[in-house]
Amino acid sequence: MEAYMQKFLEKFQHLKIQLEEITTATNNFNKENYIGVGGFGKVYKGEVSHSKGRGMVAIKRLDHASRQGAPEFLKEITMLSDYKHENVISLVGFCCEGGEMILVYELAFRGSLDSYLKSPHLTWRQRLKICLDAAKGLRYLHDPRETRRRLIHCDIKSGNILLDDQWNAKVADVGLSIIGSANEQHSLIVTAAAGTMGYIDPVYWMTNTLTKESDVYSFGVVLFEVLCGRLCYTLDNKGHVVKEILTWIKSYEQNMLNDIIFENPNIEPMHQSVLKRFSGIAYRCLKESREERPEMSEIVTELESALNIHELLQNEEFTGKWNERYKKS
């Protein structure tokens, strides 16, 4: 297997980073450099020289006890070398040396979206922009160009949406992705691949088939998480998973979603026309029938519209307050 990997990686030599440099950058994978963990393994930060220059990066080290391994490692290198977009996290290097498999990415300084869902300081403009960025990244993976094949991500969740220092969002962790044909409408794939509990398309559970609409379902869950300010699942006192998404769907259908979104008095208000558009596209993503779910291109359009309306209304509100203050002066 090792000989095969080295042969496979020959065409990516420009991305190779020496293990010695990585251990130096992370102080030998010191806990002070630790920034998170995922299905592949622990993630550290450090400064290294790479194909794009020198700078701070995120260093993901394979945990050999993980379900993931060489296939996901090689797939991540291959995919991110071919699929490049401002809203998809960039691979800047890798290390396959001394029994280690390490992936090196651009560093998203603010970490993952799931860390900010409850924050009352994250404005609605920021929340809408984050969702729009992620939607653009996923749209690109689904329909990149005629020269690229469709990528079904298979593990869309708020933990796989990373944020840079300017709150720009980037889709990450394509190691579980599956390639489909770009010129087929649905790219139906029979697979045993799995995503993350709470985000998985229910049709997948029943049929073991994945389509790009499976990603749309998962993204709809993320949109509801951003709206409601919490993860889509909780654990009861017996450690059982409770799916919040079922409550959110029911609340939307009963026109009671406001009670959940604004139960925290510190959350800033949002105009109902914006909320209607935002929650409406989120709800459509979760349709039981895959055929009724929107394309990512339509989701991008709806989120752009929601963001534009929100900014317009905010500007009008600011102008109105300024004019009132001017009249009194």
Amino acid, single-letter form, for residue 313: L
User: What are the residue ranges spanned by the domains of the chain?
Assistant: 2-106, 111-315
Burial level of 317, CB count in 10 A (0-12/13-18/19+)?
Answer: exposed
pLDDT of residue 222: 98
Q: What is the mean pLDDT of residues 201-205?
A: 91
Predicted confidence band of residue 7 (pLDDT cuts 50, 70, 90): confident
Alpha-carbon 287 to chain mean position: 20
Look at the alpha carbons of 269, 312, 121, 296 in this order and tell me if their dihedral is positive or negative. positive
Which one from 63, 143, 155, 165 is the annotated catalytic residue? 155
pLDDT at site 240: 74
Chain centroid offset of residue 85 CA = 13
CATH numeric code, 2-106: 3.30.200.20
Asked, colleague to colleague, whether 2-106 and 111-315 share their fold, the answer is no
The mean pLDDT value of the chain amounts to 87
* pLDDT tens digit sequence for 126-140: 999 999 999 999 999
The β-bridge relationship of strands 209-210 and 41-50 is unpaired
**Dihedral sign (CA 14, 16, 21, 26):** positive
Homologous superfamily of 111-315: Transferase(Phosphotransferase) domain 1 (1.10.510.10)
* Kind of pairing between the strands at 34-37 and 41-50: antiparallel
Q: What is the pLDDT at residue 199?
A: 94
Active site residue 236: no
DSSP 3-state of 184: coil
Percent over 70 (pLDDT), the chain:
89
- Predicted confidence at residue 329, as pLDDT, reads 41
pLDDT digits (tens, 9 = 90+) for 38-48: 778 899 999 99
Give per-residue pLDDT as tens, 186-195.
555 555 556 7
Phi, psi for 147 (deg, rounded to 5): -85, -10
Q: Name the band, by pLDDT with cuts 50, 70 and 90, for residue 169.
A: very high
The amino acid at residue 48 is V
Whole-angstrom CA distances from 106 to 53, 90, 131, 177, 231 are 11, 6, 20, 19, 26
Six-digit token string for 5: 């990997």
